[in-house]
Structure 1
Amino acid sequence: MRSLYFRVFVIILYTVALSSLLGFYVSNAYYHWKLKPLHDAKLIAIAEDARTFAEQYPEAVGDYMRNAASLGYQIYLTDRTRREFYFGHAFRKKNLAADVRDRVLAGDVYHGIAHYPDSPFLTGYFENGLRNTVGVPLQISGENYAMFLRPDVRLQFGELRVFFALIFMFTVAFSIPSFLLSTRYLVQPITQLTEATKRIAQGEYKIRLNTNRRDEIGQLARHFETMSRELARSDLAKRDFVANVSHEIHTPLSSIQGFADILQQPELDDATRIEYADVIGQEARRLAEMSRQLLLLSTLDHADGEPLDKREHPLRRQLQHALRLMQWQLSEKQLSVKLSVPPSLTICGDEALLLQVWTNLLFNAIRHIPDERSISVRAREESGACVVEVSDTGDGIPEEQLPHIYDRFYRGDGSRTRFSGGTGLGLSIVQAIVHRHGGTIQAFSRIGEGTTFRVTIPGL
Structure 2
Amino acid sequence: MKSLYSKFLAATLFIMVISSFTGFFIANAYYQNNLKPENDSKNMEIAMNIAQYAETQENLDQYLKHAASTGYQLYVVDRQGERHSFGGSFDEKNLPFQTVENVLNGENYHGMRDFPKKTFVTGFFANELRNSVGVPFTHDSTQYALFMRPDIKLLFNEIHVLLGWMGLAIFILSLIAVLIWAAMIIRPVRQLSHATNKVGEDGFDIDLDIHRKDEIGQLAQNFKDMISRLGELDKLRRTFVSNVSHDIQTPLLNIQGYSRLLEDKTLSEDDRYNYLKVIQEEAKKMSTLSRQLLTLSSLEQKEKPLFRNRFKVTGQLKSLLHRYYWLIDENNLSLSYSF
Provide the TM-score with structure 1 as the length reference: 0.62
Report the Cα offset of residue 419 of structure 1.
Answer: 4.8
Q: How many equivalent pairs are there?
A: 315
Q: Point out the structure with the larger helix share.
A: 2
Residue 243 to residue 54, structure 1, CA distance change in 2 (3 Å): same
Report the Cα offset of residue 114 of structure 1.
Answer: 1.4
Alignment partners' CA distance in 1, 2:314 and 2:249: 14
Matched-pair contact (CA < 8 Å) for 1:40–1:134: yes
Alignment partners' CA distance in 1, 2:175 and 2:195: 30
Q: How does 1:8-27 map to 2 (within 5 A)?
A: 8-27=8-27
Alignment partners' CA distance in 2, 1:209 and 1:121: 53
Partner residue in 1 for 2:270: 271
Matched-pair contact (CA < 8 Å) for 1:74–1:150: yes
Matched-pair contact (CA < 8 Å) for 2:204–2:228: yes
Residue 163 to residue 266, structure 1, CA distance change in 2 (3 Å): same
Residue 86 to residue 264, structure 1, CA distance change in 2 (3 Å): same
Report the Cα offset of residue 51 of structure 1.
Answer: 2.4
Partner residue in 1 for 2:201: 202
Report the Cα offset of residue 204 of structure 1.
Answer: 3.0
Deviation per CA, 1:140-191, whole angstroms, max 9, x where unpaired? 2332221111111122222211211121233344444434333322222222
Residue 153 to residue 262, structure 1, CA distance change in 2 (3 Å): same
Alignment partners' CA distance in 2, 1:38 and 1:67: 26
Residue 33 to residue 166, structure 1, CA distance change in 2 (3 Å): same
Residue 244 to residue 119, structure 1, CA distance change in 2 (3 Å): farther
Matched-pair contact (CA < 8 Å) for 1:136–1:147: yes
Alignment partners' CA distance in 2, 1:155 and 1:412: 100
Partner residue in 2 for 1:64: 63
Identity of aligned residues (%): 38
Structure 1 residue runs without a partner (length 5+): 302-401, 421-460
Report the Cα offset of residue 199 of structure 1.
Answer: 0.9
Q: Which has the larger radius of gyration?
A: 2
Matched-pair contact (CA < 8 Å) for 1:58–1:141: no
Query: Are residue 166 (structure 1) and residue 172 (structure 2) matched?
Result: no
Q: Which moved more, 1:108-117 or 1:126-135?
A: 108-117
Query: Are residue 85 (structure 1) and residue 84 (structure 2) matched?
Result: yes
Deviation per CA, 1:316-361, whole angstroms, max 9, x where unpaired? xxxxxxxxxxxxxxxxxxxxxxxxxxxxxxxxxxxxxxxxxxxxxx
Deviation per CA, 1:377-403, whole angstroms, max 9, x where unpaired? xxxxxxxxxxxxxxxxxxxxxxxxx94
Secondary structure, aligned partner of 2:112: coil
Task: For 1:88, give the aligned amino acid.
Answer: G
Report the Cα offset of residue 39 of structure 1.
Answer: 0.7
Partner residue in 1 for 2:246: 247
Query: Are residue 154 (structure 1) and residue 189 (structure 2) matched?
Result: no
Secondary structure, aligned partner of 2:114: coil
Secondary structure, aligned partner of 2:76: strand
Report the Cα offset of residue 19 of structure 1.
Answer: 1.4
Report the Cα offset of residue 91 of structure 1.
Answer: 1.1
Alignment partners' CA distance in 2, 1:195 and 1:29: 50
Task: For 2:224, give the aligned amino acid.
Answer: E
Partner residue in 1 for 2:106: 107
Task: Give RMSD over aligned pairs.
Answer: 3.0
Alignment partners' CA distance in 2, 1:278 and 1:10: 78
Query: Are residue 280 (structure 1) and residue 279 (structure 2) matched?
Result: yes
Partner residue in 2 for 1:333: none
Report the Cα offset of residue 99 of structure 1.
Answer: 2.0
Alignment partners' CA distance in 1, 2:114 and 2:144: 22
Partner residue in 2 for 1:260: 259
Matched-pair contact (CA < 8 Å) for 1:106–1:137: yes
Alignment partners' CA distance in 2, 1:416 and 1:37: 105
Report the Cα offset of residue 233 of structure 1.
Answer: 2.2
Partner residue in 1 for 2:31: 31
Residue 127 to residue 285, structure 1, CA distance change in 2 (3 Å): same
Deviation per CA, 1:276-334, whole angstroms, max 9, x where unpaired? 22222222223223334544665x68xxxxxxxxxxxxxxxxxxxxxxxxxxxxxxxxx
Alignment partners' CA distance in 2, 1:28 and 1:286: 88
Task: For 1:37, give the aligned amino acid.
Answer: P
Task: For 1:156, give the aligned amino acid.
Answer: L
Residue 118 to residue 158, structure 1, CA distance change in 2 (3 Å): same
Alignment partners' CA distance in 1, 2:44 and 2:311: 106
Alignment partners' CA distance in 1, 2:253 and 2:114: 105
Q: How does 1:339-354 map to 2 (within 5 A)?
A: none
Partner residue in 2 for 1:330: none
Partner residue in 1 for 2:141: 142
Matched-pair contact (CA < 8 Å) for 2:88–2:151: yes
Deviation per CA, 1:205-225, whole angstroms, max 9, x where unpaired? 222223321122222222222
Report the Cα offset of residue 128 of structure 1.
Answer: 1.1
Alignment partners' CA distance in 1, 2:179 and 2:78: 62
Q: Which moved more, 1:223-232 or 1:410-419?
A: 410-419
Residue 416 to residue 148, structure 1, CA distance change in 2 (3 Å): farther
Matched-pair contact (CA < 8 Å) for 2:57–2:63: no
Alignment partners' CA distance in 2, 1:411 and 1:258: 35
Residue 260 to residue 25, structure 1, CA distance change in 2 (3 Å): same
Q: How does 1:117-136 map to 2 (within 5 A)?
A: 117-136=116-135
Task: For 1:101, give the aligned amino acid.
Answer: V
Query: Are residue 45 (structure 1) and residue 50 (structure 2) matched?
Result: no
